[in-house]
Structure 1
Amino acid sequence: MSTSIPQVLVHSDTPATDAKLAVAAEEKTVSSQESVPVDELQVGSKAKPKQLKITASNGWQVLAKVSATGSRKKRVKREDSGSPALANGGNASGMYTQPTKRAGTRGKLAVLLSLPVDILFEVFGHLAPLDLLRLSRTNKAFRRELLHKSATSLWKESFVKAYRDGAPPCPEDLSLVFWANLLYEPHCHNCLAPGVRSIEWVLRIRLCVKCAKLLLVSEKKFRPWVELDRTVKECLSFEKRERGGTGFCLKKDRDDAFEAIKREPENTAQRDKMKSVVREREEHAKVCREWAERLLEARETELSILRAERQTFIEEHLCALGYEEEFSFLEEVINRPGRNLLMPPIGELKRFYEHEEVKVAKPITERIWNNRVKAIMVSYMEEVKAYRLANDRKTLLNARRNEAASAWTKWLRMESQMKRYPPSAFLPTVQDFVDDASVQSLINAADDVEVFTFETFKPVLDSYHTTIETWQKNQSRKLFDLVDSNTIWALGVWKDHRAWGPPPWDKLDWMEAAVLTFKCTERGGSVHDTVQIIDDPTAPWSRSHYGNKPPTMAGGYDGHAPPTEEEHEPMWFPEFLHHGCCKLRHRTVDEMQNPLYNEYAIVNRLRIDRLSRLTLRRDKWSGAERLVFDDKASDVVKKILKASGLSVKTKVGELDKIDPKLVCLKCTYGGKCDGERRVTVRTWRNSVKHALSVHWGSSSVQFERISDEDAKEARRLETTEYFRRYQKEPRPLVRRFRCLLCRDSRHEEQGLPMAGLIRHIETVHALHSSDVTQPEAEGTIYTKEALGVAPMQPLAVQMVPKAGYPPTVNESESTYY
């Protein structure tokens, strides 16, 4: 496998040859067709000189003569002492002397060329192999001496220190010059491209990406089913350019091996020798790779030290300028992201160690700091300071919001408020309270305001009853607008209220009508996982239930399969008011990364689906946005009320109390109860879901209510239906309770059995178990009401009822259908 070695490449220009110098001189000479007077070559001659032609043969002589005699002086007229001639370098005689060009001085090291060879070798013996290699490329003289066989001892001496430092030994079949070039010169051995740091140790060559594609061949090109290819492959060295990847060899080595084996196919000694060479190369390459890895680690360590020293230097100088608090802020970002950071600078503000001026592995001095780095880093720290101040403000506001939420929950736990607002009361959420304008005016006060407590918000809470009434009317109006006009007229109210009367949404009792059904637009809500099922013995099991196991009496199904998209989940009063999707939502990514942001709104024990217990937070009540009026379910309820002889204004509680048992006439093809026909009898809630899911809410669905005597028998059969179907007794019903002390807090539970409630009261609220068992505890500490869930429905039964229940509804009320 090729290894990358950290090196710095230095280019040395190859000197031009004498032939090239001669050509260049000829190109710079005057054209052979031009004549030059001789007197211009001899300074001070008055006679007219003989003109000579300058050719390639005498050009050097003329040039040498001109250089020896100096340049010609040009006579100029002198005006006065202030003339430009004197100002421009003229002398007193008025002659203008043109400056002469002096010959360049020889370099201080030029004397090295005249030293004896033994002295040079004594000096060069202290150089490293890379220095010798670059020195040999300085000029022809050094190249001739250093690459001669007589310089072998010099190269060996230069490698002594390299071997002591751990450099791999030079193979016997390579020269020390080639080995130094392979180890230390990072350039392509084919095209001389610089910056090639990877070495093909087995192949003993450096290749750039372009040349590697041209000169290397993959081992996959050797056909395993061809004997010659298999033989050649065993005699070649392959370099795996990636760990565990495909091996590559040189095309030239492949061609030579093919030619040698084809020429002497029976020469097994030759093949054995080639195989032994391959083994030796692989063993030597392993040593070379280990050396390269050590060299790379040492280089990384050196760079890390440089970065650390540079970072320390910059940090100390910035702290001296007064940015200690900004560094503490950055430390919070690095070590504890999200815990004390409410404005994460993700994607906006770089970490200190990620800044270009900090992470660069270069030494820094006071001069570099003052000239360039200081201005850049001060600008960066000012940005950090702006983020810190904004974060401090956010943290302060967040603490005030948490205190406001705590005041709201404490206010709801007061005995006077529990009497006024029982568990079933339709109230704003804690988020509604925090976002209220009167509360926000306190939260957004200046930073120097004293610490907020319950007493800070008590004046607002004492006058909050009017705000609650106004909020209830506003939400009631929004729900009222969702109901279709036919249902509103059937209820005896007007879509647009009259000017002389109060609007119908001023009170909440209009929502209690059984014909008012809503459904949630968000799938997977908490109400969708409850025992509101289609129970049809004639349907397939997977269609009849939500799972592959029978239902339990504990409030759920063992199969834990959610309803399908076509399942209908109608909700009645008060379920849609306390529906989980209307009060909870999933936290955003930023909120998940910052657990302290609005900590009061996070809930860990409530859910709106099976996988969202740890990703939810409280939200403003959004029933008008999450709910839609279920007109099909409402039409089915109207038909059930008509068949039951009840008014269209019948409320949900009244209908549950009457508990009419119904038969679907569409399933019996219009056949009514006659004392001979076996039919399926359901409750009114299951009848609505049956009509929606089995008959798709068809307008042709009709129902018949069985007689009170048959209904009594149906209720008896419901208690034994589970055993009849599954030949076992159902699990006992476990009643669940809700803690009122946690209402609208982050510790609120979904529903607990009595043992779990007692444990919750003791651990969370520090109360004794005897406080829960007191008679007055119900309604003050806990409640049995399941507000967001419909009552559990019994299984449908099959029986042979007598004649149906005759409708007795008034004709005036029946006209509303």
Structure 2
Amino acid sequence: MLRRSTRKAALRAEAPEDHGVNSDTHKDPTGDPQDASRSEPSRKRRRTNSSYEDDRKKKHVRGRRGALKGLVEMPMDILFEILSHLRSADILRLSWTSKALRGILMSRSSAFVWKTARANVEGLPDCPPFLNEPQYAAFMFDSTCDYCRRARTQMTIWDFTRCCHKCSADEDKFQRPFDIRWPGCILNEVWVIIPSVWVNVGKRTYKRFKISSVVEMRERHDKVHSHAKEQWFVNKKTETSLRKDHFAKCKTWLNEQAEARSQELNEIRQRRTTAIRKKLTGLGWGEELEKLQAADSEEFNSLPTVKVPKALTDRIWENIKEDIIQWMEAAKADRLKAEFRAAQKARHGILAELYASFMASQPLHAILPPVADVAMTEPFKTIIALPLPPESPVVTAEHFATAVETLPDFVKSWRSSADAKLLAAMRACNELSLQDAQESSLNLATTFFGCARSYGCRAQLPYPHVLVHPCASNPSYCTPHDAFKDLECQPWDFEGNYIEFSPQWYMIARYILEACGLDPDTTTRQQVEDPTFFVECVGCNQKKISEEARTLMTWVSAMNHVAIHRSRREDKGMRVHRAQLSDEDMHRAIQLEADRRENLKRNVFGPKFWICVRCKEVHTWSGFLEHISNSHQIDVSIHEPAEYKDYELHMNAYTRWDYQSVLYLKPLSSIPEEGM
């Protein structure tokens, strides 16, 4: 009892001297959140029934309450012996536990305790001369923000303080470089001695300076005599350089510790992941784990229940097992779906090759459906949708052999269905009375259909050009159909609103045919597309050219020419009729038409207009030259490809806008002899 009472008296008599913890360069390392409540006088409480107080349940406190009370009651030599085996972080946290321990640890006589604890930390730099031991320990091992007390703050400043990202962006605490007001001083010199942070705003990084330090330094500077101000800056720069040197060492050590801790946590995570995989293998998921793709494996390792840096125990496994198995089931379903999708893509590729061979066996200008129409019909659809092995064998070209034999019948059926759609569009036109239109009406010269797709070309198309128009079979950029993506096409007029009958061009065609002395109700497309059929425009508004030349047009060009005049309301003085040409002029007009076809080759990035006569493949002009060189071993530098022998123009070319220009036939008297 004598020793105990003496110990208590000593504690009461000893004043808790600090080591400069009130310095404005750092936070109070012994700040106890409970001190404030303990120092305030207790409030008066209302008197209550004692029986009621006895019945109240006591709040459950985890751990042993008051377990450290015995430390302050033991002899000092024993206490210091215990503390000599601790590290700086342990001593720092002990100083937060109670006022009694704080009084012991913050006294000057206990300075050796902090030094011993610091020596127990391997590689820790020595305490800087401008900090005391508690301040240094608080900076190195307390990660709270010095400005708002936010926990886990990793941003450090060379004045040995910590700052969270929120405070660094606070304009009341940090300011921009050019917002500093320091009359009579060069800002470059001021920036050197003021603590600063780098703030990330969007994709840019900005430097901000500590406002409280600016105010403090300016006040100190103002108190210095004018003759000594320059030397004051020199001294501050030297002091700043010293602080930054010590800070660099401390920062290096902190980074090394963070890296070591990160590596340690990663090793724990790896052991936990390995243990979980072993548990799953025991439950029959080993094969599925091996089949996980790199992305799925990374996702598995990043699961909240897997990436926890904590050893796996049987109790933990029982708690997380259901969630992990549920994820494995979903991953397996996604894998099977992806494998089936890959198999479908391969099957679409096989079908595309077989259909290309079938198209090569057909006449050059045969009207054939897109391959997507074939893929969407039986029996091809069933073959493409066959299950994966082992439920079904691997699909090869042999599985399509029987189905390919049905292609001729399918083409006929598709053509009849497409013609029926076009006839229905003609009969549904409200502006004209075409309810009696028959299949033969499709071949009339007055029959035109417009491209009505939202992002289409708005071209006007005769029959059967409309059946091979690319806008009617090109898939949309965001199509949800995987088959269309694989085949790079979709069924012709897939949504049923890509093609519409054109009453405007129907009336223009009747006008031109009547002007040419032909019957619009019986004249067919074949008649007006004859190579010797030309329409001449008299009184064309392009007088500068037409005064010296005759304006000739093919049938489609004439349609486009009249449509342009009417859209501009310039058709009052326009007169068209069938051109009457001599044999010489007819020959020259046909040559002009051939020259225009040749000019299409100049469009390097143009559409696919050229059909290979040998294999029926359609290419751009540059692609065609490369094709016949590689596939048919024809040297284009020696053998220049010839029309009708090596290639023919696809019918889509005749409806392209840049092919529908007029031909200007100059009189022979105006052509030099060398041009004849």
Both proteins in one fold, TM over 0.5: yes
Q: CA, structure 1 residues 328+459, in 2 after alignment: closer, same or farther (shift >3 Å)? A: same
Aligned partner of 1:356 in structure 2 is 304
Describe how 1:142-291 pairs up with structure 2 within 5 A.
142-162=101-121, 164-165=122-123, 167-190=124-147, 193-207=149-163, 213=170, 216-220=173-177, 222=179, 226-228=183-185, 230=187, 233-234=190-191, 236-242=193-199, 245-266=205-226, 267-268=228-229, 269-291=231-253
TM-fit CA distance, 1:182: 1.4
Aligned-partner Cα distance in 2 for 1:19–1:153: 29
Matched, 1:787 2:660: no
Q: CA, structure 1 residues 783+299, in 2 after alignment: closer, same or farther (shift >3 Å)? A: same
Where in structure 2 are there 5+ consecutive unaligned residues? 1-28, 51-63, 670-676
Is the 1:574–1:788 contact (alpha carbons within 8 Å) kept by the matching residues of 2? Answer: no
Q: CA, structure 1 residues 636+231, in 2 after alignment: closer, same or farther (shift >3 Å)? A: closer
Secondary structure of the residue aligned to 1:638 is helix
Aligned partner of 1:645 in structure 2 is 517
The one of 564, 576, 592 equivalent to 1:693 is 564
Q: CA, structure 1 residues 445+115, in 2 after alignment: closer, same or farther (shift >3 Å)? A: closer
- The one-letter code of the counterpart of 2:153 is R
The one of 323, 334, 337 equivalent to 1:387 is 334
The one of 283, 288, 307 equivalent to 1:321 is 283
Aligned-partner Cα distance in 1 for 2:198–2:67: 47
- The one-letter code of the counterpart of 2:368 is L
Is the 1:485–1:495 contact (alpha carbons within 8 Å) kept by the matching residues of 2? Answer: yes
The one of 682, 693, 718 equivalent to 2:552 is 682
TM-fit CA distance, 1:184: 0.8
TM-fit CA distance, 1:320: 1.9
Q: CA, structure 1 residues 224+668, in 2 after alignment: closer, same or farther (shift >3 Å)? A: same
Aligned partner of 2:585 in structure 1 is 713
Aligned-partner Cα distance in 1 for 2:578–2:613: 41
Aligned partner of 1:422 in structure 2 is 363
Is the 1:200–1:239 contact (alpha carbons within 8 Å) kept by the matching residues of 2? Answer: no
The one of 475, 487, 497 equivalent to 1:585 is 475
Is the 1:513–1:650 contact (alpha carbons within 8 Å) kept by the matching residues of 2? Answer: yes
Is the 2:427–2:436 contact (alpha carbons within 8 Å) kept by the matching residues of 1? Answer: no
Q: CA, structure 1 residues 10+443, in 2 after alignment: closer, same or farther (shift >3 Å)? A: farther
TM-fit CA distance, 1:742: 6.5
Matched, 1:620 2:582: no
- The one-letter code of the counterpart of 2:560 is K
Is the 1:129–1:155 contact (alpha carbons within 8 Å) kept by the matching residues of 2? Answer: yes
Aligned partner of 2:322 in structure 1 is 375
Structure 1 length normalisation: TM-score? 0.62
Identity %: 20
- The one-letter code of the counterpart of 2:435 is K
Aligned partner of 1:495 in structure 2 is 435
Where in structure 1 are there 5+ consecutive unaligned residues? 1-8, 35-104, 336-349, 498-503, 529-567, 592-596, 603-616, 724-728, 763-767, 803-817
Aligned partner of 2:462 in structure 1 is 572
Matched, 1:518 2:449: yes
Secondary structure of the residue aligned to 1:203 is coil
Secondary structure of the residue aligned to 1:373 is helix
Matched, 1:629 2:501: yes
TM-fit CA distance, 1:695: 4.0
Higher RCO structure (Cα 8 Å, ≥6 apart): 1
Question: 1:224-246 deviations in whole A, cap 9, x for unaligned?
Answer: 79435849835741312337844
TM-fit CA distance, 1:625: 2.8
Aligned-partner Cα distance in 2 for 1:590–1:10: 64
Aligned-partner Cα distance in 1 for 2:653–2:248: 71
Aligned partner of 2:54 in structure 1 is none
Question: 1:468-508 deviations in whole A, cap 9, x for unaligned?
Answer: 33321221121123337899989xxx5246xxxxxx23xxx
Aligned-partner Cα distance in 2 for 1:740–1:319: 60
Is the 2:613–2:648 contact (alpha carbons within 8 Å) kept by the matching residues of 1? Answer: no
Aligned-partner Cα distance in 2 for 1:782–1:718: 20
Secondary structure of the residue aligned to 2:654 is coil
Is the 1:15–1:138 contact (alpha carbons within 8 Å) kept by the matching residues of 2? Answer: no
**Is the radius of gyration larger for structure 1 or structure 2?**
1
Aligned partner of 2:631 in structure 1 is 761
Aligned-partner Cα distance in 1 for 2:579–2:350: 58
Aligned-partner Cα distance in 2 for 1:149–1:664: 114
Aligned-partner Cα distance in 2 for 1:17–1:523: 73
Deviates more, 1:125-134 or 1:445-454: 445-454
Q: CA, structure 1 residues 800+321, in 2 after alignment: closer, same or farther (shift >3 Å)? A: same
Deviates more, 1:750-759 or 1:313-322: 750-759
Q: CA, structure 1 residues 458+132, in 2 after alignment: closer, same or farther (shift >3 Å)? A: closer
TM-fit CA distance, 1:207: 4.3
Matched, 1:295 2:245: no
The one of 80, 83, 87 equivalent to 1:128 is 87
Is the 2:348–2:483 contact (alpha carbons within 8 Å) kept by the matching residues of 1? Answer: yes
Structure 2 length normalisation: TM-score? 0.74
Question: 1:739-782 deviations in whole A, cap 9, x for unaligned?
Answer: 47876xxx8644567753333425xxxxx769xx9xxxx99x97
Is the 1:429–1:619 contact (alpha carbons within 8 Å) kept by the matching residues of 2? Answer: yes
- The one-letter code of the counterpart of 2:140 is L
Aligned-partner Cα distance in 1 for 2:160–2:603: 80
TM-fit CA distance, 1:200: 3.6
- The one-letter code of the counterpart of 1:217 is F
Q: CA, structure 1 residues 446+214, in 2 after alignment: closer, same or farther (shift >3 Å)? A: closer
TM-fit CA distance, 1:317: 1.4
Aligned partner of 1:607 in structure 2 is none
Q: CA, structure 1 residues 702+111, in 2 after alignment: closer, same or farther (shift >3 Å)? A: closer
CA RMSD of aligned residues (A): 4.8
The one of 270, 274, 281 equivalent to 1:312 is 274
Secondary structure of the residue aligned to 1:788 is helix
TM-fit CA distance, 1:180: 0.6
